[in-house]
């Protein structure tokens, strides 16, 4: 018998997040460990009259690709995959890692090159209805410092919330952010300012990320000035980069250091010209996510945190100010936690958050 929490999550993804309807061409992609959730989503899509296709990634297959891929293979652009992306209406992606560190010792430049090669297809997918979610596995539980049972309770508690209640609070903050022109972040080894003038704030709940619970927008590309040190390690492709400190001048990262894995950070920043600029300013608002779990999908939603993404700005945030938006194949979020370190957030010179708590009414 299927866990009722899995059924509820599948319903959220199909009915709310992607609004699958009759005739939709749907791609469900995941690892084999997410079999129960894959089947529930597939069943619901069939009941909706859609055309679901399941794509399973075998454990270790991506590792083999990056270990043995030659330069011409990394630069190969799959036109067939592009055509498939254009013809697909809905993408549902389920993370179900069996080993979150399998890419740690691989060539970082290979991953950066492949990301850049596939960027046009990634951009096509962003124009469709899409959602990303994680399925609880032993690997994710281990990263979070929990048993699998504990992690299941945590994951389903964070994802299976009433969307209406969350949306109400998010919309209130979105309205405030949309009236703001300048942001200043002050805290431990941090004093950073940037403009969000003319940008669009978003506060969608569970439309693209599950769990959700953030308000996000895009800084103007050339506006960031100052420095910031992040609280938590940034993890990408199994590589954990700790103690990240970034210095900005006229929007560009002019100095980047890390206490651990600095070479990987440098490789990502060298991906393309846009990788050295900010693409997102996000504010965590999910009350059910209170601990850092080394899973960005959750960690960037922690209430009392902010996150900045280096690289690409989401198109919906720069639709009114495209000339000042950032474009890159990279989009990498890094989290700063004011609950742990103390600090303030200012909107147009007015204190709005102190030590992770709002001082304005939402």
Q: What is the CATH number of the domain that holds 117?
A: 3.40.1830.10
Range 262-267 average pLDDT: 95
Shared domain check, 231 and 332: yes
Is residue 259 over pLDDT 90? yes
Shared domain check, 210 and 182: yes
Query: Which strands make up the sheet holding 214-217, listed edge to edge?
Result: 214-217, 278-284, 305-311, 331-337
Residues 307 and 216: their CA atoms lie apart, in Å, by 9
- Last residue of a domain, which of 130, 159, 188? 159
Is residue 42 over pLDDT 90? yes
Would you state the pLDDT for residue 287? 86
Would you state the pLDDT for residue 60? 92
Residues 236 and 234: their CA atoms lie apart, in Å, by 7
Would you state the pLDDT for residue 1? 82
At residue 195, what are phi and psi to the nearest 5 degrees? -100, 140
Shared domain check, 171 and 151: no
First-to-last C-alpha distance (Å) of the chain: 42
- Last residue of a domain, which of 159, 191, 223? 159
Would you state the pLDDT for residue 23? 98
Shared domain check, 71 and 129: yes
Shared domain check, 143 and 265: no
Shared domain check, 228 and 318: yes
Shared domain check, 201 and 239: yes
Contacts of 247 (CB under 8 A, 6+ apart): 226, 227, 253, 254, 255, 256
Shared domain check, 105 and 32: yes
Range of the domain at 81: 4-159
Question: Cα angle vertex 265, ends 132, 201, to 5°?
Answer: 45
- Last residue of a domain, which of 135, 159, 183? 159
Shared domain check, 186 and 101: no
- Alpha helices in the chain, H assignment, sequence order: 4-11, 35-47, 61-68, 71-74, 79-87, 108-126, 138-144, 148-159, 163-178, 262-269, 296-299, 338-341
The pair of structure tokens assigned to 145 is 């410092």
Shared domain check, 236 and 334: yes
Would you state the pLDDT for residue 212? 86
If pLDDT is split at 50, 70 and 90, which confidence band does 293 have? Answer: very high
Q: Count how many domains the chain has.
A: 2
Shared domain check, 140 and 38: yes
Mean pLDDT of the chain: 95
Residue-wise pLDDT tens digits, 154-174:
999 988 877 777 888 899 999
Would you state the pLDDT for residue 29? 98
Evaluate if pTM is beyond 0.95. no
Shared domain check, 21 and 33: yes
Question: Are the beta carbons of 63 and 102 closer than 8 angstroms?
Answer: yes
Is residue 74 over pLDDT 90? yes
């Amino acid at each position: 018998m299927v866990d009722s929490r899995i059924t509820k999550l599948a319903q959220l993804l199909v009915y709310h997040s992607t609004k699958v309807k009759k005739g939709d061409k749907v791609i469900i992609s995941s690892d084999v460990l997410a079999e129960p959730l894959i089947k529930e989503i597939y069943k619901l899509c069939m009941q909706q009259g859609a055309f679901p296709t399941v794509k399973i990634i075998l454990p270790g297959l991506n590792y083999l690709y990056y270990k043995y891929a030659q330069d011409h293979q990394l630069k190969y652009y799959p036109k067939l995959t592009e055509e498939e992306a254009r013809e697909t209406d809905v993408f549902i992606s389920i993370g179900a890692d069996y080993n979150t560190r399998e890419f740690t010792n691989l060539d970082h430049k290979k991953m950066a090159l492949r990301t850049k090669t596939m960027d046009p297809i990634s951009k096509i997918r962003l124009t469709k209805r899409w959602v990303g979610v994680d399925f609880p596995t032993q690997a994710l539980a281990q990263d979070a410092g929990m048993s699998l049972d504990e992690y299941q309770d945590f994951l389903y508690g964070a994802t299976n919330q009433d969307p209406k209640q969350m949306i109400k609070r998010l919309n209130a903050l979105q309205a405030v952010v949309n009236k703001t022109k300048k942001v200043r972040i002050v805290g431990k080894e941090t004093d950073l300012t940037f403009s969000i003038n003319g940008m669009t704030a978003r506060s969608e709940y569970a439309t693209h990320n599950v769990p959700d619970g953030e308000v996000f927008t895009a800084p103007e590309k050339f506006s960031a000035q100052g420095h910031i040190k992040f609280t938590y390690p940034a993890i990408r492709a199994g590589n954990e980069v700790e103690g990240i400190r970034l210095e900005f001048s006229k929007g560009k990262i002019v100095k980047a250091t890390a206490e651990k894995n600095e070479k990987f950070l440098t490789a990502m920043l060298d991906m393309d010209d846009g990788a050295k600029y900010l693409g997102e300013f996000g504010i965590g608002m999910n009350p059910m996510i209170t601990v850092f779990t080394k899973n960005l999908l959750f960690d960037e939603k922690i209430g009392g945190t902010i996150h900045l993404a280096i690289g690409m700005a989401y198109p919906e945030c720069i639709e009114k100010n495209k000339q000042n938006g950032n474009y890159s194949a990279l989009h990498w979020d890094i989290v700063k936690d004011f609950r742990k370190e103390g600090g303030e957030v200012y909107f147009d010179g007015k204190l709005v958050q102190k030590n992770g708590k709002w001082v304005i009414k939402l």
